[in-house]
């Protein structure tokens, strides 16, 4: 593998929670990601009323943008703080609901009903819980997943996709021997073998 010493690196759930608690969230983009704007037409493909999934969503501003365009947004994030900050920063009222299928999980749903954010591990989700999606915005998710969990992650993502869905994936390219990650280096060859 050409991912160097990264293949055995594991970042724990506690480490991610700590990043949110200490504000060490350099991965969050206040203005949204420029590639989202650039490729939004590819994601939407002229369609309206889509269901779009945000894996490891944090407090991504793009969720609000898509909801404002009339799409339904579903996200998953382990940090409840991140989800609450999302609703607070956009002045969106929301309610909290338990997720009966997942012990300890909760869903934060906007009052308008078109944004549902699950607070749990992504690996606890399934299409029977969240349904299937017309689009996925994977910015900072595949590259944040521990390298040993990539196959499990992609297998789950594939089960969440409708037949004609669009999957926008952002990765980063660098020498993995010079940076331990995350974000992790995911070579294009691996993306092709993971997604087929």
Flag whether 53 is marked binding. Answer: no
- Lookup: tokens for 54: 């945000």
Flag whether 75 is marked binding. Answer: no
Those residues with Cβ within 8 angstroms of residue 139's Cβ, 6 or more apart along the chain or in another chain: 33, 35, 36, 60, 62, 168, 170
Flag whether 17 is marked binding. Answer: yes
Flag whether 190 is marked binding. Answer: no
Flag whether 27 is marked binding. Answer: yes
Flag whether 24 is marked binding. Answer: yes
Flag whether 77 is marked binding. Answer: yes
Flag whether 18 is marked binding. Answer: yes
Flag whether 13 is marked binding. Answer: no
Q: What is the DSSP string of the chain?
A: --SGGGGG----HHHHHHHHHHT--TT--TT--HHHHHHHHHHHTT--S-EEEETT-TT-THHHHHHHTT-EEEEEES-HHHHHHHHHHTT--EEEEE-TTSTT-EEEEETTSSEEEEES-GGG--HHHH--EEEEEEESSTTTS-GGGHHHHHHHHHHTEEEEEEEEEE---S-TTS---SSPP--HHHHHHHH-
Flag whether 70 is marked binding. Answer: no
Flag whether 177 is marked binding. Answer: no
- Contact in structure between 122 and 130 (CB atoms under 8 Å): no
Flag whether 22 is marked binding. Answer: yes
Flag whether 37 is marked binding. Answer: no
Q: Which residues are annotated as a binding site for S-adenosyl-L-methionine?
A: 16-27, 56, 77, 121-122, 139
As annotated, the binding site includes 16-27, 56, 77, 121-122, 139
């Amino acid at each position: 593998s050409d991912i160097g010493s990264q293949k055995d690196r594991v970042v724990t759930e506690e480490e991610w929670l700590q990043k949110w608690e200490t504000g060490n969230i350099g991965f969050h983009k206040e203005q949204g990601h420029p590639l989202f704007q650039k490729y939004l037409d590819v994601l939407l493909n002229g369609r309206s009323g889509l269901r779009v999934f945000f894996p490891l969503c944090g407090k991504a501003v793009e969720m609000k943008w898509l909801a404002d365009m009339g799409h339904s947004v579903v996200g998953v994030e382990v940090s409840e703080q991140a989800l609450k900050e999302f609703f607070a920063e956009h002045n969106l009222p929301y309610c909290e609901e338990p997720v009966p299928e997942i012990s300890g999980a909760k869903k934060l749903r906007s009052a308008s009903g078109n944004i549902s954010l699950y607070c749990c591990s992504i690996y606890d989700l399934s299409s029977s819980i969240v349904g299937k999606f017309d689009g996925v915005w994977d910015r900072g998710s595949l590259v944040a997943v521990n390298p040993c969990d990539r196959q499990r992650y992609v297998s789950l993502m594939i089960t969440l996709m409708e037949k004609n869905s669009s999957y926008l994936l952002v990765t980063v390219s660098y020498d993995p021997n010079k940076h331990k990650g995350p974000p992790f280096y995911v070579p294009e060859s691996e993306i092709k073998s993971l997604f087929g």
